[in-house]
Amino acid sequence: EPEVTQTPSHQVTQMGQEVILRCVPISNHLYFYWYRQILGQKVEFLVSFYNNEISEKSEIFDDQFSVERPDGSNFTLKIRSTKLEDSAMYFCASSDTYNSPLHFGNGTRLTVT
Amino acid sequence: GENVEQHPSTLSVQEGDSAVIKCTYSDSASNYFPWYKQELGKRPQLIIDIRSNVGEKKDQRIAVTLNKTAKHFSLHITETQPEDSAVYFCAASKGNYGQNFVFGPGTRLSVLP
């Protein structure tokens, strides 16, 4: 069964540094998402992406965040200047249509020190 | 925007008993309701979903019911097994272009042997 893959599995960075989290969605999927989950809390929506543009974003997704689909397979989340409160598990997800199940990757655990 | 509440936050049952988790949503336009299971340190995985044109759906030991009028939906697990122990998240979406899934806060289910 095809899977969403994310790299790295764990990223440690210092406050103020830039990080890029990488995702390879399922190949025939058209809708891509980033969610985050602070330890022990619920899964929170960050951004959705379709047709090479952001279709929706949450209040969390401020100017420090950006997404990109640099080629036909990768989907990245960039945090420009990390803060301590950015520490969380970041999940990439994809779906084949706009109202079909999300398929999540295994996540990248980001630790900001 | 959409708000999804979920109860209880923790649930302990004896192996073989049934477990019920309930969610309410606020946006009457929501029309798709998936349930995800998340084991410790792993990705959320879809276990069952229901659309607004259906009142009930069953898949072996798992069933979901939806009451659109009351804006609530429930997950029912029968004959629970230790491997059912996990955090369960409900979610709601409107299925519009650029939609995002709004997740409930999660229920930690423990099945005691």
Distances (CA, A) of A101 to A21, A60, B4, B46, B65: 22, 23, 17, 7, 17
A104 part of contact set with chain B, CB < 8 Å: yes
Residue A92: pLDDT over 80: yes
The CA-based dihedral angle spanning residues A108, A40, B33, A91, taken in that order and rounded to the nearest 10 degrees: -10
Q: Measured between CB atoms, which of B44, B93, B98 is closest to A104?
A: B44
In terms of pLDDT, which residue wins out, B50 or A97?
B50
What CA dihedral angle connects A37, A41, A45 and A46, to 10 degrees? -50
pLDDT at B98 exceeding the cut of 60:
no
Which among A42, A55, A102 is the nearest to B98, CB-wise? A55
Cβ partners under 8 Å of residue A62, min gap 6: none
Q: What is the mean pLDDT of residues B21-32?
A: 93
- Looking at residue B52, what is its pLDDT? 85
| Residue B2: pLDDT band with limits 50, 70, 90 | confident
pLDDT range class, residue B95, cuts 50, 70, 90: low
Asked whether A95 and A35 are in contact (CB, 8 A), the reply is: no
Chain A residues with CB under 8 Å of B103 CB are 42-45
Least confident of A56-60, A61-65, A105-109, B77-81: A56-60
Answer yes or no: do B43 and A45 touch at CB < 8 A.
no
- pLDDT of A41: 87
Inter-chain contact B106–A44, Cβ cutoff 8 Å? no
User: Mean pLDDT across chain A, nearest whole number?
Assistant: 93
Whether the pLDDT of residue B100 is over 80: the answer is no
User: Which residues make beta-bridge pairs with A66?
Assistant: A78
Question: Average per-residue pLDDT in chain B?
Answer: 92
pLDDT tens-place string over residues A10-40: 999 999 999 999 999 999 899 999 999 998 8
Mutate to test the interface with B, among A10, A23, A42 (most CBs of B within 10 A): A42
pLDDT at B112 over 60: yes
CA distance B64 to A93: 23
Once rounded to an integer, what is the mean pLDDT over residues B43-70? 93
- Checking if the pLDDT of A87 tops 80, the result is yes
Write the residue in B44, B99, B105 that is nearest to A99 by C-beta.
B99
pLDDT in tens, A38-71: 988 889 999 999 988 998 899 999 999 999 998 8
For chain B, say whether A98 makes contact (Cβ under 8 Å): yes
Q: Which of B38, B43, B46, B102 to mutate to probe the A interface, most A CBs <10 Å?
A: B43
How many CB atoms neighbour CB A25 within 10 A?
27
Q: Nearest C-alpha of chain A: how many angstroms from B22?
A: 16
User: Does the pLDDT of residue A74 top 60, yes or no?
Assistant: yes
